[in-house]
Amino acid sequence: MFGLFKNKKKEIIKKYLEEGAQLLDVRTSSEFNGSHIEGSKNIPVQVIDQKMKSLDKEKPIIVYCAMGGRSNVAASKLKANGFKVVNAGGIGSMRKHLKP
């Protein structure tokens, strides 16, 4: 059952990337400054409620963090506010999705 969900998530991420998705890193600013995926926007999960207005509701969002917990919280908040979003999990998983 888990494998089916994992494959579905992979398909959604691929589709969103093809649609020009916004990449959202919800780690702290210091984590982001240490390393991040090029083209990502940094909005720490602690301030997502105040900063989500800076995101484009017309474009899907792929959200990631270090391990997947914070991105899960952020994805839930974004979905509740009408954004089209998928949680990629941790930055390592996100990097795998970007490989050809």
Q: How far is CA 48 from CA 54, 63, 74, 78, 95, in A?
A: 10, 11, 7, 8, 22
The 10s digit of each residue's pLDDT in 27-52 is 999 999 999 999 999 999 999 999 99
The 10s digit of each residue's pLDDT in 55-68 is 999 999 999 999 99
The pLDDT of 66-79, averaged and rounded, is 97
9 or 76: which leads in pLDDT: 76
CA 6 to chain centre: 15
Residue 1 predicted with pLDDT over 50: no
User: What is the CATH number that goes with domain 2-98?
Assistant: 3.40.250.10
The 10s digit of each residue's pLDDT in 2-27 is 455 567 888 999 999 999 999 999 99
Sequence ranges of the domains in the chain = 2-98
